[in-house]
Amino acid sequence: MEISLADFDPTIVAQYAITEQDLQQVALYVRLLQGEDAPTLADMAVGGYYGTSALLHEVVELRALLEREPELLDWQGHTVRQFFHANPAAHANALVVEHRYLQICIEDAFGQRFSLEALVTANAGQRDFELLLASDIPVPIFETSLAEVQQAELLLEHLRSLGRVMR
């Protein structure tokens, strides 16, 4: 699966100064965490807004982890997973950045606004939402309805189906 920076939202690539080296490091990191058939790489391969959100999450997370441990990408997969689990703030912060981006994309593409908690729950699952709740990240979190989560799931799937189409 060949992924190029040209597949992603150029505004985000520029804003976060994402390079081809970042993309290669993210691919290695995700394989170390999830294995060769990493679902996150499939999400990134979609490109467009949805793929950009996955890339953005991994770039933010990996940069935070590499700041703590510069040799992380030289480790074995099980050790990388242990380090990931020992540093939940990096993942929680990446969830916020990713889903704030998705909020903007969905509002721009479909004219609907969803809460951060509805998008995190719909896109990443209840476990990640609970991780965000337990984190020290200063984001206002409110309970969301099942209907809002279900609607967010539908629009996230629609956003994913757009693939590389960018408005």
Q: Provide the pLDDT confidence category of residue 165 given band limits of 50, 70 and 90.
A: low
Average confidence (pLDDT) over 136-158: 88
Range of the domain at 61: 5-161
Average confidence (pLDDT) over 26-40: 95
The DSSP annotation for 90-121 comes to: HHHHHHHHHHHHHHHHHHHHHS----HHHHHH
Residue 167 within a domain: no
Residue 166 within a domain: no
Residue 48 within a domain: yes
Q: Could you report the per-residue pLDDT of 75-134, keeping only the tens digit for each?
A: 999 999 999 999 999 999 999 999 999 999 999 999 999 999 999 999 988 888 888 888
Residue 121 within a domain: yes
Residue 83 within a domain: yes
Residue 66 within a domain: yes
Query: What was the pLDDT predicted at 15?
Result: 97
Q: How far apart are CA 126 and CA 71, in angstroms?
A: 31
Q: Tally the domains of the chain.
A: 1
Residue 40 within a domain: yes
